[in-house]
């Protein structure tokens, strides 16, 4: 009991330290620009204002994700479950990623069969998980690489896999990937606008659906993230292929 309380207190301290650090970074940047503007060192030109706006958006995104994660972990964020066909949803996500990350030169493709049974899930939340996993995969895959989303039915669930040909993740990082604020490459993640909360939210969403999410990787050979969702009730009793 004593060890559990100590671990809980350490987790609380780590969370407060991480939140403070993540909030301080954009606030410090915005304050510096405002002081420079007041002192006449900078002019309120479009470039300066764009930098300040980007920091404000990062701050807002961080706060929104923190609130969302807190609601998920406390069970206060209800799921709007419905039958969700995965093939069109994956296509939508990949199309959005292709537009947002077109400069990366990474091929994103779907290998999700159109006759796959729908899942019983919150469509927006599944979209959120897929977008986060695919976006991460593209960001850490070199130009000329590929990211593939595949899915299949297994024992009353549908398993979804996001695989990339990226740089891979060292073994010591894998157990902590889904912790809040944990980053494999902190400098690169912050430069790219990452908050360090996306994978924690993905885990919370998947577990709220009764599923599990895990990662496998080998340095130099890419990474694979896999999660499962329940098959929709209308198709659950059909025999697995």
Nearest alpha carbon to residue 126 among 151, 154, 101, 156: 151
CB 113 within 8 A of CB 145: no
The neighbouring-strand residues paired with 109 are: 148
Q: Residue 230 region, left (φ>0) first, then alpha (ψ -120 to 50), else beta? A: beta
Instruction: Give 78's pLDDT tier (boundaries 50, 70, 90).
Output: confident
Residue 133: pLDDT above 70? Answer: yes
**CATH, residue 26:** 1.10.287.130
Judge if pTM exceeds 0.95: no
Q: Are residues 24 and 118 in the same domain?
A: no
The distance in angstroms from the start CA to the end CA of the chain is 47
The answer to whether residue 241 sits within a structural domain is: no
Chain centroid to CA 192: 13
Does an H or E element contain 51, and which? helix 46-74
User: Which 3 state secondary structure label does DSSP give 85?
Assistant: coil
Q: Are residues 185 and 142 in the same domain?
A: yes
Q: Are residues 48 and 143 in the same domain?
A: no
| Domain extent at residue 102 | 82-236
The answer to whether residue 195 sits within a structural domain is: yes
The count of structural domains within the chain is 2
Instruction: Give 229's pLDDT tier (boundaries 50, 70, 90).
Output: very high
Does an H or E element contain 112, and which? none
Average pLDDT over residues 142-165: 94
| DSSP letter assigned to residue 117 | P
Identify the pLDDT of residue 11.
55
């Amino acid at each position: 009991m004593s060890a559990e309380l100590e671990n809980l207190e350490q987790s609380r301290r780590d969370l407060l330290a991480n939140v403070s650090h993540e909030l301080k970074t954009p606030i410090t940047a915005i304050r510096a620009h405002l002081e420079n503007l007041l002192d006449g060192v900078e002019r309120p030109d479009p470039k300066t204002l764009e930098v300040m706006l980007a920091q404000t958006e990062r701050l807002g995104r961080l706060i929104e994700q923190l609130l969302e994660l807190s609601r998920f972990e406390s069970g206060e964020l209800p799921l709007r479950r419905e039958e969700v066909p995965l093939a069109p949803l994956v296509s939508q996500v990949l199309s959005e990623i292709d537009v947002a990350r077109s400069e990366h030169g990474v091929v994103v493709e779907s290998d999700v069969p159109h006759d796959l049974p729908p899942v019983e899930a919150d469509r927006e939340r599944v979209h959120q998980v897929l977008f986060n996993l695919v976006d991460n995969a593209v960001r850490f895959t070199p130009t000329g690489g590929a990211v593939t989303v595949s899915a299949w039915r297994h024992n009353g669930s549908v398993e979804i896999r996001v695989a990339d040909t990226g740089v891979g993740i060292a073994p010591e990082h894998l157990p902590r990937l889904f912790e809040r604020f944990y980053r494999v490459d902190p400098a690169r993640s912050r430069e790219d606008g990452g908050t360090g909360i996306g994978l924690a939210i993905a885990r919370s969403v998947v577990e709220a659906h009764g599923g599990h999410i895990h990662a496998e990787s080998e340095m130099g050979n890419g990474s694979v993230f896999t999660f499962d969702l329940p098959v929709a009730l209308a198709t659950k009793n059909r025999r697995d292929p």
